């Protein structure tokens, strides 16, 4: 594994982590953990195999570990108290921010499939392999995730909630 | 035309350009007659493009130094390439190795894979005590928060914060005089550190935690890392750790004295003979 190749992957790892976590600092922490674990697991990497897939696999597993671990209790502010007023005007920057918030409201497993597909442009089979799940599961998560995201963006699901930053 | 029914998976594969041309044509024909489904597919396509617009700019952000540094192999992997290191990196590496070694040593007999687990589990008593010793004992100007001149205040304050009476054992007979003490964060609440010093300036710290919930008393245990030796023991919910850069024998003598004083104070019936 050579340094230049890893350096070249870092921007993609950061992009994926940002999409998954929203928060910039938390995303970079995840990338850092991923790189550290990659070095400590170097013996598990087969020379010549796809390093990008390997690194994404490590990041996925770290995420799963983080989600399983009990965290400091944080509370979502309830939608009833904190409904964000709908904006009469639309512009692209605000719309993108809406997307970020809507994406954050998807279950982790659905968000992951959407992000891998849109940003990493992996095939369904590659995503299944990276996440260690059957292709059928990828398809059902994709289907539910896309539909849910569409409904949230359309305002057909509960309005954007303020979320405590993870 | 295959004539196979169009499935939900076909619609997504159409969005993701994962269909052979012939099948794609069938899906498009199908969508042409079902405006609602067509609307849905267009919305999914728009989502995908919007996600790229939102996150692709991250690719152009400069990579933070702390991440770029990790593109290079860490010391353990790189082996003999010392010459290329900056002094700063060597220092950082030594620190990491030192702490890692300490954690590893403490954890190795308890956890099958100490390195990962120790990082996420509450840090163990001797490790915390050794780190606290290493951090505060070299401090010349301000080694303690409250000095021994105000021992009464120190003891009252720490007792109040720990929620239980604590005392600074008298170690003058062994050549160590109280310098003072401080409050430190433990795993779930405050812990106390008392610092002593002998005539030569050698410092010794007693770390007192009230966080033990495992309900397992231990006999004296000994841990060592570099120049710091640690004797520790657990007594009910109290954990005590005595750290110093002195030899094991002398530290054991002090530990025994501390143990005896604490034991006597806590014994509700001082006349009882064991």
A4–B58 C-beta distance less than 8 A: no
Contact list, A156 vs chain B (CB under 8 Å)? none
Chain A with chain B: Cβ pairs closer than 8 A: 101
Q: What is the pLDDT of residues B115-138, one digit of tens each?
A: 333 333 345 788 888 888 988 888
Q: What is the pLDDT of residues B177-186, one digit of tens each?
A: 999 999 988 8
Burial class (CB in 10 A: 0-12, 13-18, 19+), B219: exposed
Q: Are B8 and A143 in contact (CB under 8 A)?
A: yes
pTM, 2 dp? 0.50
Q: How confident is the model at residue B113 (pLDDT cuts 50, 70, 90)?
A: very low
Q: What is the pLDDT of residues A32-58, one digit of tens each?
A: 999 988 888 877 777 777 788 888 888
Rounded to the nearest 10 degrees, how much is the dihedral formed by the CA atoms of A133, A136, A137, A141?
Answer: 140
Quote ipTM for the complex: 0.79
d(CA A25, CA A21): 9
From the CA of B187, how many Å to the nearest CA of chain A?
A: 13
**Tokens 């995730």 -> residue:** A145
Q: What is the mean pLDDT of residues B51-58?
A: 92
Residue B242 scores a pLDDT above 80 = yes
Q: What is the pLDDT of residue A138?
A: 96
A139–B71 C-beta distance less than 8 A: no
Summary mean pLDDT of chain A: 78
Q: What is the pLDDT of residue B273?
A: 43
Residue B65 touches chain A, beta carbons under 8 Å: no
Q: What is the mean pLDDT of residues B263-269?
A: 55
Q: Name residues whose C-beta falls within 8 Å of residue A97's C-beta, 6 or more positions apart in sequence.
A: none
Residue A159 scores a pLDDT above 60 = no
Residue A115 main-chain phi, psi, to 5 deg: -70, -45
Q: How confident is the model at residue A22 (pLDDT cuts 50, 70, 90)?
A: confident
With a pLDDT cut of 90, the percent of chain A lying above it is: 31
- Which residues 8-27 of chain B have a CB within 8 Å of chain A? 8-9, 12-13, 15-16, 18
Q: What is the pLDDT of residues B73-101, one digit of tens each?
A: 765 554 433 333 444 554 555 555 555 55
With a pLDDT cut of 70, the percent of chain B lying above it is: 74
Q: What is the mean pLDDT of residues A157-163?
A: 52
Q: Are A18 and B79 in contact (CB under 8 A)?
A: no
B53–A14 C-beta distance less than 8 A: no
Lowest-confidence range among B11-15, B29-33, B75-79? Answer: B75-79
Q: What is the mean pLDDT of residues A20-27?
A: 87
Q: Are A62 and A30 in contact (CB under 8 A)?
A: yes
Of the residues A7, A15, A61, A111, the best mutation for testing chain B's interface (the one with the most B CB atoms within 10 Å of its CB) is A15
Q: How confident is the model at residue B45 (pLDDT cuts 50, 70, 90)?
A: very high
Residue B64 touches chain A, beta carbons under 8 Å: yes
From the CA of A129, how many Å to the nearest CA of chain B?
A: 17
Residue A144 scores a pLDDT above 90 = yes
Q: How confident is the model at residue A71 (pLDDT cuts 50, 70, 90)?
A: very low
Q: What is the pLDDT of residues B148-158, one digit of tens each?
A: 999 999 999 99
Residue B243: name the closest of B209, B210, B215 by CA.
B209
């Amino acid at each position: 594994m050579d340094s230049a190749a890893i350096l070249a992957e870092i921007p993609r790892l950061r992009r994926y982590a940002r999409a998954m976590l929203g928060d910039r600092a938390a995303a970079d922490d995840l990338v850092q953990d991923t790189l550290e674990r990659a070095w400590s697991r170097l013996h598990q990497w087969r020379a010549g195999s796809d390093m990008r897939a390997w690194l994404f696999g490590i990041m996925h597993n770290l995420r799963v570990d983080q989600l399983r671990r009990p965290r400091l209790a944080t509370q979502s502010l309830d939608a009833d108290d904190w409904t964000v007023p709908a904006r009469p005007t639309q512009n692209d920057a605000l719309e993108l921010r809406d997307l970020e918030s809507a994406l954050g409201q998807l279950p982790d497993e659905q968000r992951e499939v959407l992000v891998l597909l849109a940003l990493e442009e992996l095939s369904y089979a590659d995503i299944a392999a990276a996440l260690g799940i059957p292709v059928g599961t990828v398809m059902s998560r994709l289907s539910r995730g896309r539909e849910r995201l569409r409904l949230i963006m359309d305002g057909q699901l509960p309005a954007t909630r303020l979320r405590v930053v993870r | 035309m295959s004539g196979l029914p169009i499935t939900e998976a076909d619609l997504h594969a159409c969005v993701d350009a994962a269909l052979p041309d012939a099948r794609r044509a069938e899906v498009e024909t199908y969508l042409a007659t079902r405006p609602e489904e067509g609307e849905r597919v267009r919305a999914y396509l728009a989502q995908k493009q919007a996600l790229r617009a939102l996150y692709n700019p991250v690719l152009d952000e400069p990579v933070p130094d702390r991440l770029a540094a990790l593109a290079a192999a860490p010391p353990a992997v790189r082996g003999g390439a010392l010459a290329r290191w900056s002094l700063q990196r060597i220092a950082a590496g030594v620190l990491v190795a030192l702490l890692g070694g300490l954690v590893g040593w403490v954890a190795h007999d308890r956890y099958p894979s100490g390195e990962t687990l120790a990082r996420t589990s509450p840090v163990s008593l001797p490790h915390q005590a050794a780190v606290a010793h290493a951090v505060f004992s070299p401090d010349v100007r301000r080694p303690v928060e409250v000095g021994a001149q105000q021992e009464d205040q120190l003891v009252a304050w720490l007792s109040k914060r720990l929620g239980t009476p604590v005392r600074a054992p008298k170690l003058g007979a062994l050549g160590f005089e109280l310098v003072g003490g401080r409050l430190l964060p433990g795993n779930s609440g405050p812990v106390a550190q008392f610092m002593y010093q002998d005539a030569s300036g050698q410092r010794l710290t007693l770390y007192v935690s009230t966080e033990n919930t495992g309900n397992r008393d231990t006999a004296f245990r000994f841990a060592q890392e570099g120049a710091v030796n640690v004797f520790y023991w657990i007594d009910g919910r109290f954990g005590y750790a005595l750290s110093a850069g002195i030899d094991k024998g002398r530290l054991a003598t002090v530990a025994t004295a501390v143990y005896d004083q604490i034991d006597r104070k806590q014994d509700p019936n001082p006349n009882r003979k064991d």
